[in-house]
Structure 1
Amino acid sequence: MELYDSEEQQVEAIKDWWKENGKAVILGAVVGLGGLFGWRYYQDSVIEARETASEQYTQAIEAMATKGLEASSEVQAFINSDSSSEYTVLAALQLAKAQVEAGEFGQALEQLQWAQTKTKDPALTPLITFRIARLMTEQGDIEAANTELSKISDASWAGRVAEMRGDIALSQGDKDAAYSAYSEAQQATDASQTLQLKLDDLAK
C-alpha cells in the first residue's frame, strides 16, 4: 500500500485517480441505477398486465354466465387478445365447455386443441388433453382419442385415463380389454366411485 507524506499528496492522488476513473464510476452508477429502475418498471408492468388480464377474464366469464354462447364473440375476442396468457387459456376451456353443452363438438375441440398448444401450466396440460380425448371419443375418432390419452403421463391421472380406455374398449365391444382397463383404474389413487358398478356389469 502506497504511503503519502502529506495530506496534500493524498488529495492530489485522489484527484489523479478520479480523473482516470471518474467517468467509469459515474457510468457504472448510471447503468446500475438504470438497471434497478428498469427492473422495477418491468415488474410493475408485469403485475399491471396480469391484473388487467384477470379483470378481462372475469368480465368474459361473467358475460358467458349471463348470456351463454351469445357471449362467445366477446370471449373469443379476449382469447385472441393475448395468446401468451394463461387467462386466455382458461377462457378457451370455459368456452369449449359451453360449446360441448350446446352440442358444438367441432368448435369445442378446436378451442381445446388451441389451449393445449398455448398453456405453460403443467397442471392444465393433462386436463386439456383428457377433455380432447373425451371429445374425440364422442365423435367416434377412437384411434386419435387413444393417442391423446397416451400423452398423459401424470400419475395423478392414471385412474381416469385407464377408465376412459375401458369405456372406449367397451364401446368397441371388447369386454375383456374393458374389464382389464377398469381393474387397472380401480387401483389408482384417482379411481372413480363408478368403477365397481362397471366391473359388476361386465362380470354378469
Structure 2
Amino acid sequence: MAYDLEEQEQIDVIKTWWKQNGNTVLLGVAVFVAIVAGIQGWRYYQHQQTTQAAGLYEAFQGAVEKHDVKNVRGIAGQLMEQYPRSAYASRAAFIAARSNYEGGDGKSAKAQFQWVIEHAKSDEIKDAARLQMAGVLLDEKNHEEALKLLDSKHGAGFDGLYADLRGDVLLASGKSDEARAAYQQALEKMDPSGGYRGLVQLKLDGLGG
C-alpha cells in the first residue's frame, strides 16, 4: 500500500516513538495485568479461606451442641492454626476456652482467652475474653493480674460487668471498702431493668452499702 509523503512521515514518527518507548509500554501493560490478576487471585484465595473456615465452624457448632469436648477442642485448634484471621477462629477459641475451663483445664482456657485478646478483630469479643480471663485468674487467687486485666481499656457496654468483677477481686483480696465502691460503680453502669443488677445489689447489701 502506497502512502503519501505526509502519511509516511507520521508512520516514521510512530515507529521511532515505539522503538524508544515500546518496551516501557509493554512493561506497563504487563504490570497492570499482573496487578489485576493478583487482586483477583487474592480475592479468590480469601473467598476460599472464608468458605473453608465457615465449614469448619459449622462442624464446631455441631460438636458444641453434642457436648463433644474432644472435637470442640480439636476443631477450635484447627481454626486458630489454619484461619487465624477469620472471625470464626476467635469465636471458636472463646467457646473452647470456656469449655476447657468448665472441664477443669484452666491452663488451656487462659491460653485460648489470651489468643482471642491478641488475634480477634472484634473489640467486643476481646473485651469479653479479658473479662473471662480475669474470672479465671480470680479463681486461681491471682488477684493482681486479674485487676490489671480489669483496669484495661474496654467498651462502655462492659463497664458494669468489669466493675462488678473488680469488686469480686477486691473483696477476695480483703479490700472491702474498695469492693463496695466497685459494686456501686457497677450498679451505676448497669441497665436498671437488667436481671444481673439484682445480684450486684445483693453483694453491695452484704457489705452494708
Q: Tell me the TM-score normalised to structure 1 length.
A: 0.84
* Residue in 1 that maps onto 2:205: 200
Please give the secondary structure, in 1, of the residue aligned with 2:66.
helix
CA contact (8 A) 1:133 1:149 kept: yes
RMSD value, Cα:
2.3
- Which runs of 4 or more aligned residues in structure 1 lie more than 6 Å from their structure 2 counterparts after TM superposition? none
Tell me which amino acid in the other structure corresponds to 1:69: V
| Structure 2 unaligned spans of 5+ | none
Structure 1 stretch displaced more, 151-160 or 93-102 = 151-160
The CA deviation at 1:189 is 5.2
Letter in 2 for 1:45: Y
Aligned equivalents of 1:32 and 1:74: distance in 2? 40
1:137: how far off?
0.6
> Which residue in the other structure is 1:118 paired with?
119
| Residue-by-residue CA offset, 1:77-105 (whole Å, 9 max, x unaligned) | 44333444442222111111112222332
Contact 1:61 1:94 in 2 (8 A): no
Aligned partner letter, 2:197: Q
- Deviation of the 1:131 alpha carbon: 0.7
Which stretch of structure 1 is more off in the superposition, 62-71 or 25-34? 62-71
**Structure 1 range deviating more: 173-182 or 47-56:** 173-182
Scaled by the length of structure 2, the TM-score of the pair is 0.83
Q: 48-57 vs 186-195, which deviates more? A: 186-195
The runs of 5 or more residues in structure 1 that have no matched partner are: none
Classify 1:106/1:22 alpha carbon distance in 2 versus 1 (closer, same or farther; 3 Å): closer
**Secondary structure at 1:193's aligned position in 2?**
helix
Whole-Å Cα distance in 2 between the matches of residues 190 and 8 of structure 1? Answer: 85
Q: Secondary structure at the match of 1:6?
A: helix
CA 1:139–1:190 in 2, change beyond 3 Å: closer, same or farther? Answer: farther
What do the CA deviations read for 1:114-150 (whole angstroms, capped 9, x no partner)? 3323334323221111110011111211111111112
What is aligned with 1:161? 162
Shift of 1:190: 5.9
Paired residues, number: 200
Is the Cα contact below 8 Å between 1:68 and 1:98 reproduced in 2? no
| Residues 175-200 of structure 1: CA deviation (Å, up to 9, x unaligned) | 32222111112222567422333333
Aligned to 1:99: 100
CA distance in 2, matches of 1:80, 1:20: 52
Amino acid at match of 2:21: N
**Match of 1:140, SS?**
coil
